[in-house]
Amino acid sequence: MDERVMRKLIGKPIPEWDISHRLKINQTFGPNTQDFGTVFQINSRFMDVTEPSFLEKQWFITGVAVAFLSMGIGPYVYSFTHADGSSGDFIMDCLAIAAVVIFGRIVLKLGRGLFFGVCRRPIRFHRETRKLYAIHSRRYFLKSTKGDIVWEAPWSTESIFCLHRERTSFGTIFHIRHYTLDDNGNVARVFSIGREWTGYGQIGMALAQWNYWCAYMNDGPGDLPKPMLFHTQQETLREAFLFSLYSFGLRAPAIVRLLMMPHILVFTVMRVLANATCRDPIWPESIERISQIAPDDPYAEPRPGTPVGWGDTILAQQRGEYPDNPQAPVKDWKGEMDEQKNAAAWLENPAAAARRTARGRP
């Protein structure tokens, strides 16, 4: 979910559902460890991952463009009612002003950061400092050492990570959040990590993704399966098209994609246009200094020969040069082995599911 939509929680308690579905860093939540398309790069020192709006921002961008065009309703109504040189109608003048104000507010609220911001807002899992560093927004007047605005979150047992549930007009979605509280116990900061999960059937995937991040931070990259893909940090027209195409489903039938092709092409143009107004994120010098990758790091990826982006990864999988659906079992997992059943039990009662797993009873 886009960070701009989450501001309604600032100054309020963490939602009860979220706190009851808290994700602890020293606990596994399912039988599998797997990435589902969240990784930019990985090495022995840090891993950069996405935030949810990166994968779906073409929807917001198109909405902003529609709202911007809708602002033209105001001038059109005004010119139409004053076409004959008359003073016009007071009510119609008010409607014209209201159209500009309402749609202009939408443009400012949702467009901020999508246009003239940064192309992506990576979240850095740093093993050495035991922290998460999240690019929050562009710093427009850069000082030589400050870089863009970064939020920090400690990777500790006291940190509050939760699975968040949001009911929307498109259905129920989930994503993993980190909450920072103020002195009164209310939300001071909140950001989401990774990607969105659509519907209850994808909760098992979300838990496997959390296992993946925890395994990296707690044990290192040695035993991790390959990520689903490495996202490109230099987005091309082809990648923008594939982002837009897959936003209607990775395995959507061909007929659905053909029917949605006009929307997909519009999304592609909007995504390319927004990226053209943005620049790459700049990490502060203090974070860059602690994020130097050793030249001989055996886990540094992507390296030459590794496919990057949707297009190259799919072609490499077809040639048998990159694994399809890479995953690994969780070591010493004692709970339910069926991922869907485990996820359903955890959703219904997380505490009871954790107790059963600890006792080795599915």
List the one residue out of 30, 49, 43, 34 whose CA is nearest residue 227: 34
Specify the residue for token string 């485990």. Answer: 342
- pLDDT digit string, tens, across residues 239-257: 999 999 998 887 788 898 9
pLDDT given at position 87: 62
Kindly state the percentage of the chain with pLDDT values over 70. Answer: 96
* Mean pLDDT calculated for residue range 201-224: 96
pLDDT given at position 216: 98
Averaged pLDDT of the chain: 91
DSSP conformation class of 29? -
Three-class DSSP category at 244: helix
> Where in the chain does DSSP place strands (E)?
22-23, 32-33, 39-42, 46-49, 123-126, 131-137, 149-154, 160-168, 171-181, 187-198, 328-329
Lowest mean pLDDT among 86-95, 232-241, 303-312: 86-95
List the one residue out of 188, 171, 166, 170 whose CA is nearest residue 179: 188
Three-class DSSP category at 61: helix
Q: What is the pTM of this model?
A: 0.90
Residue scoring higher pLDDT (350 or 354): 350
DSSP conformation class of 112? B
Q: Are 49 and 178 in contact (CB under 8 A)?
A: no
- pLDDT digit string, tens, across residues 293-330: 999 999 999 999 999 999 999 999 999 999 999 999 99
- pLDDT digit string, tens, across residues 115-133: 999 999 999 999 999 999 9
The separation between the first and the last C-alpha atoms of the chain, rounded to the nearest angstrom, is 32
